[in-house]
Amino acid sequence: MNLPDAAATLAFGRELGLAAQAGEVIALVGDLGAGKTTLTQGLVAGLGYKEEVTSPTFSLVQEYVGGRLDVFHFDFYRVEDEHELLDLGWDDYLDRQGLVIVEWPTLHPDLLPKNTRWLKLSHGGKGRVVEED
């Protein structure tokens, strides 16, 4: 799917948020600037949140609680060892029946459940392209 600009990326994210199910895990793959955080902003908005959504690069996880589903937004970019995530309570987040969104999931793919929905974002033409694996 082609996403010609940030507004289209946000709109696609909102659609994903409207359809999101409890316990779902979405893995967002893409280089820096590919639109992972913008897509997440749309997803969170689609679940009814009004607050600002930022990348959890330094905190490792951002929590958005109180919408249709709680959202747990992870960034694996700075995680060197899987134990950091396990110590943070990764398994507990998966058990909470919210929506788990992971940026940079290919750095620790073994932690993701088998039914994870993988979306790959890339630069394409004048915008971005999103593909589902």
Q: What angle do CA 27, 73, 23 make, to 5 degrees?
A: 70
Query: Counting Cβ atoms within 10 Å, is residue 94 exposed (0-12), middle (13-18) or buried (19+)?
Result: middle
Q: How far apart are CA 45 and CA 123, in angstroms?
A: 23
Query: Counting Cβ atoms within 10 Å, is residue 129 exposed (0-12), middle (13-18) or buried (19+)?
Result: middle
Q: Can you give the pLDDT at residue 113?
A: 96
* Domains with residue ranges and CATH for the chain: 2-132 (3.40.50.300)
Q: For each successive 10 residues of the chain (133 residues), what is the average pLDDT?
A: 90 95 96 88 92 78 92 92 92 96 95 96 84 86
